Amino acid sequence: MKTFKNLTFILLATSLFSCSSSKKEEIAKMSIQVKAKNDLLQRESPVKFTLNNPTDTSFDSIQLYYANKYLGSSKTNQIAAKLVAPLGKNQLKAEIYSAGEKYTIAQEIVLHNNKPPKIYTYKIKNKYPHDNLAFTQGLEFFKDTLYEGTGRNGFSSLRKVDYKTGKVVKKIELDKRYFGEGISILNDKVYQLTWHAGQGFIYDVNQLKKLGTFKYGTSKEGWGLCNDGENFYKSDGTAKIWKLDGKTLEELSYIQPVTHKSLSTRLNELEWVDGKIYANTWQKDGIAIINPENGAIEGLIDLRGLKKENGNAAQLNNEDLVLNGIAFNKKSNTLFVTGKHWDTLFEIEIEER
């Protein structure tokens, strides 16, 4: 009798396990269909989520989450909602409840801004000499002195520049192991990124004396850097701009810059201008104006044609010798831009098209 009971238990357990495994396999075949106007997910626009159920598996209810934020629940296969934040690529997750068990399926979706960016053009106000040997990576003003970080292994440097003459007032060179990237100045210190080394350098702003280093966190590369007077913002070549603690350089959070229909990547040189992040896009002739709170790209500055204004324009055919370098001069309230190996630093005024 004891043997019979044990056998019954084993058969029952095997049967339950088989049912559970079968249910899990059926639910794994499910997916979430997202239907929105013009097939674009935009902030605050109505969205209908439909659970595709190819095996017609029974379930009791579903709960839907976007970026771990609860959207709603239903006992049918449809949920209507509006997505507000965060912008960019995030996880859409459905928790499916059936016979007291919970199953999860997930996929990634991209939430765009609900307004197209304003388009701006430029007017050249002044032209100044620029060292055409400089592979410009970072540019920033501090007390009317221009600071510039340059790149490439064996040629990377940090410089203080008299922007009106182009003369390099002081320069330190990085070890040839390092490929210098973006720079930013906060609390009388210059912070300089490196590309692949996973760390940045800290210098005294006056003498450019090296004071220390800092490590990257989740972000693996260093591209552009700027600050809002308290915290830093760092691009890493992906769709993310990281917010860093101004004292510890710890990564606190990130935004993902988006327009009303696209997700931006390869954002390079960064500059903080009147509460917004201005960003070059690698190998593009323009600057994105980004809301640092949510990543919405609110404006695009069209700088096509600026490259040919260089005195050495005919030599700038290489795809690497592109626009890169944004510096805002608070004294003149104007923007200064240049590029890699450009012989000219341009002071420009921005106008809405």
Q: Which amino acid is at 169?
A: V
- Beta-bridge mates of residue 245: none
* pLDDT value at 17 more than 80: no
Among candidate residues 3, 34, 198, 176, the one with its CA nearest the CA of residue 107: 34
Largest alpha-carbon pair distance within the chain? 101
Q: Which amino acid is at 160?
A: K
Using a 10 angstrom Cβ sphere, with 0-12 exposed, 13-18 middle and 19 or more buried, the burial of residue 319 is exposed
Please provide the average confidence, as pLDDT, over all residues in the chain.
93
* pLDDT value at 309 more than 90: yes
Quick check: pTM over 0.85?
yes
Distances (CA, A) of 85 to 80, 118, 239, 242: 16, 21, 16, 17
Compare 89 and 24 and report the one with higher pLDDT. Answer: 89
pLDDT tens-digit series, residues 26-35: 899 999 999 9
**3-class DSSP assignment, residue 269:** strand
* pLDDT value at 72 more than 80: yes
Q: Which amino acid is at 157?
A: S
* pLDDT value at 1 more than 50: no
